[in-house]
Structures are given as C-alpha cells and as structure tokens.
Amino acid sequence: MKELAGKFLLYLENERGLAVRTRQAYRRDLDQFLQFLADESIEAPDRVSQHHVRAFIAQRHRQGLGGKSLQRLLSAIRSFFRWMLREGIVSHNPATAVRAPKSPRHLPATLDADTIDRLLDIPCDTPLAIRDKAIMELFYSSGLRLSELATLHWQQVDLGSGMVTVTGKGNRTRMVPVGRIAVEALLEWRKSRGEFASFEEPHVFVSQRGKPIATRTIQDRIRHWAKHQGMPQNVYPHLLRHSFASHMLESSGDLRAVQELLGHADITTTQVYTHLDFQHLAKVYDKAHPRAKKK
C-alpha cells in the first residue's frame, strides 16, 4: 500500500501538476489512513471496504478533527482509490459513499475599497518598495493565488494587452486581465528589477538575492506594509484575492465571470461571495429603508 501511495503521489506531481504543498498534504493524509489500515491488519487495497473508511473518519472525528479537515482526508482517500481503479488495481472505490460531518461555513474576510487604497498607497522610493507595490497591485487587480504569483514568469505577462496567463489548481490554465494601475506598477518594477536579478531570470518577482521570491517572503512583506500603513487587522495575500472577488461580484453581479477569473473548478466555491454581497445589501437596506431603521 505504501508503494502504491508513492506511485500515486508521483502521478499527482507529473500528470496533474499539483503544487508541492498540496502533494505534501496528500502524503500526510494518506500516511494516517495507511497507518489505520495497518492497525486493522489490512494490507491489500482490494480488502479496504466502506466500513474501514467510515471507521477511520469516525476515529479522526472523535480525536477532534473538524469537518473541513475530515473532508480533505476523504478527498485524498477518494482520489487515491480513483487512481487505483483507473490503473486496474482495485475494483471499487470504498470512499465514494462516505460523507464527512459538515463544518460551519465561514465567510471570507475582505477589505473595503478605501482600505485597499490606503494599503496600496505606499512610498515607492526603493526597488524593494517598488517590487512590493507591484506584488500587491497584481494580487488585487487580478485575484491571483499566492502560488500563482510567486511562480509567475515574464513570458506569462502581456503588459501591452493587460493580460496574464496563470496555471492554477488541477493544472488548469486561465487568462486574467491586469488593471491599468497594476500594469504601471509592473512596468516600474521591470525598470528597477536589475538591482536584484539578471535579465535572464524568468521569474517576475525575485528576492534581493536575485532568486525566485518565496511565498513566505511575500506574506511577510504584505504584513510589513499593512503595519506601515497603520492598518489594525492582519493582512495576507488571500485577503487581497477575497477582496478582488467580492468587489468584482458587487460591481458586476456576474458570478460565472468571477468563477472564471478566480479559476474555481466548481461554482459553489465562488458562491460564498454572494453571501458577502447580500451582507452588504442588508446593511444598505437597514440604513436606508424607513421600516428597517433602528430606533
């Protein structure tokens, strides 16, 4: 079973092109499941039944694992058996009918437009600040994921037409518009980038040592500028992506377009932003409607 899990992880890397962190999460989840099967003296994959999967999920639930984590565990097991089914190793997928307990749905945090303006209004007096402004402008302009921005190459960016091509989760490629201000910030960064890296370095964003920028560095720099601009809340890359999605939906009302821009495979993932929009509408209603105003 461990040997098969190793081959499955290679499949995730080579054929599905999943990110390193995603593959590491798959490995951790499968290691836990395989250990459970070993404790149950189950060694062959075709001996694994729905009962074993359900017992494993119940055990992890009793140990305090939340709904989202249990759903992720189940997803890893389902994917593993789906791959074995395709390879002819097993005859059924025992995880298909097993469901994890639902977890409460938390709405993503967002920043309003004025707060975004305050965050992005940083003094661009050094190459480092110019780089950081370009990073934050691109996040908010195009709603990229952290991994997509960190691995972005210049050949993926067309500043003339204001478009960027990224490959996201599940190896899905999409084209996303880049706004005028973000284009200007990227042009300014391209002029200053020679301070850090050679022309041959393909990555758009690099560290001060000329290497491709690390995701942790991006997180730290955004946190630095949030404090510098006097913002009380924790600001992180995905918060800019959430804000992009919420503001786009609020202005356009086009859920399908926002789904395409974010690169969501399932529109139900995007629908969480409609709840944010309804929250906004409810606040406007409470303030404006004569019968809704609080005494």
Q: pLDDT (tens digit, 9 = 90+) per residue, 142-179?
A: 999 999 999 999 999 999 999 999 988 777 888 888 99
Residue in 13, 3, 81 with CA at minimum distance from that of residue 48? 81
Task: Give the number of other Cβ atoms within 10 Å of residue 80's Cβ.
Answer: 27
Task: Look up 280 and say whether it is catalytic.
Answer: no
pTM above threshold 0.85: no
Q: Which uninterrupted H or E stretch holds 166?
A: strand 163-167
Whether the Cβ atoms of residue 115 and residue 231 lie closer than 8 Å to each other: yes
User: Active-site residue among 92, 102, 211, 238?
Assistant: 238
User: Active-site residue among 26, 193, 221, 273?
Assistant: 273
134 pLDDT band, cuts 50/70/90, is very high
Task: Look up 238 and say whether it is catalytic.
Answer: yes
The number of residues making up the chain comes to 295
CA distance 10 to 232: 43
What architecture does CATH give domain 2-86?
A: Orthogonal Bundle (1.10)
User: Active-site residue among 60, 193, 221, 241?
Assistant: 241
User: Active-site residue among 145, 193, 221, 247?
Assistant: 145
What does the pLDDT look like over 231-283, one tens digit per residue? 878 899 989 998 888 888 777 777 788 788 887 777 776 766 666 555 555 56
What does the pLDDT look like over 91-127, one tens digit per residue? 899 988 888 777 666 667 888 889 999 999 999 999 9
Task: Look up 293 and say whether it is catalytic.
Answer: no
CA distance 257 to 263: 10
Task: Look up 169 and say whether it is catalytic.
Answer: yes
**Taking the C-alpha atoms of 201, 205, 209 and 210 in order, what is their torsion angle to the nearest 10 degrees?**
10
Where does residue 82 rank: exposed (0-12), middle (13-18), buried (19+ CB within 10 A)? middle
User: Domain-by-domain residue ranges, the chain?
Assistant: 2-86, 113-285
Task: Look up 287 and say whether it is catalytic.
Answer: no
User: Active-site residue among 61, 169, 223, 280?
Assistant: 169
User: Active-site residue among 16, 61, 82, 264?
Assistant: 264
What's the distance, CA 28 to chain centroid? 19
User: 219: Cβ–Cβ under 8 A, 6 or more apart, which residues?
Assistant: 146, 236, 237
The domain made up of 113-285 has a fold known as hpI Integrase; Chain A (1.10.443)
User: 163: Cβ–Cβ under 8 A, 6 or more apart, which residues?
Assistant: 157, 175, 176, 177, 178
Which residues is 206 bridged to in the sheet? Answer: 212
Task: Look up 62 and say whether it is catalytic.
Answer: no
Per DSSP, the three-state class of 174 is strand
Q: Where do runs of H (alpha helix) occur along 40-120?
A: 50-62, 67-86, 113-120
